[in-house]
Amino acid sequence: MTPARPFFAFAALSLLVTGFALAPRLLSQGSAPLSPAASPAPEPTASPRLLPLPAAEPTPAPERALLMGTLPRLTHKLALSADAGNAPLAAFYLHESLEQLRAIQKESPEYENQPIAVLIDRLALPAYADLQKSLDYPHTPTPPASRDVLLRGLDRVIASCNECHAATQHAVIQITRGTEVNPFNQSFRPLPPPAP
């Protein structure tokens, strides 16, 4: 409302910023005669805590993301879709899985001396081929693939997950269909056919 307000806010901010930029120099001059073991100099008037500069503070290194990323979750949803005989939804998760696999190839072509990108080309991608043929995302063929066809394709995919775990010294990670329960707040049932 008052036109003077933004100006004062700006002026105050620039003073604060300038003061803080100069502070380390003034401080280092002042503390030069002190021995390193001496107690820290008293805080300067412009306390660093006043400055909203969280980006400048040292942040702890983020935890390294798991190699697989969202692939396990997508595979579980693919399984629940196949088990429900929901071809269009299976097609969607197949497509998402392939994208995730390509992202893994790009981001971690090697992992703990394992040729991840090559193994995905050789083991994983061919395993998705059958399922992909029966689904042809996003134009699911009519009639849509049956539950049996979907589950057969799914089992091939899951076998390839476990083959790669064995090949990369992670045989202990055993993937299953996991369709006994649906842990998601999502229905995997096919939509009712559109009214004529």
Interacting residues toward ligand HEC by CB under 6 A: 66-68, 71-72, 75, 111, 114, 116, 119-120, 123-124, 157, 160-161, 164-165, 168, 170, 173, 175
Neighbours of 114 (CB within 10 A): 17
Q: How far is the CB of 173 from ligand HEC (least distance, A)?
A: 5
Minimum Å gap between C-beta 52 and ligand HEC is 36
The residues that bridge with 111 in the sheet, in sequence order, are: 114
Measured from the CB atom, is 114 or 132 closer to ligand HEC?
114
Closest CA to 116 of 59, 68, 54: 68
Using the minimum distance from each CB to ligand HEC, give the nearer residue, 124 or 131.
Answer: 124
From 105, 130, 128, select the one nearest 118 (Cα to Cα).
105
Query: Which residue number, 26 or 173, has a Cβ lying nearer to ligand HEC?
Result: 173
Q: Which residues contact 115 (CB under 8 A, 6 or more apart)?
A: 109
Pick the closest to residue 109 from 48, 59, 67, 57 (CA basis): 67
Q: Which is nearer to ligand HEC, 129 or 173 (CB)?
A: 173
Q: Which residue is nearest to ligand HEC (CB)?
A: 161
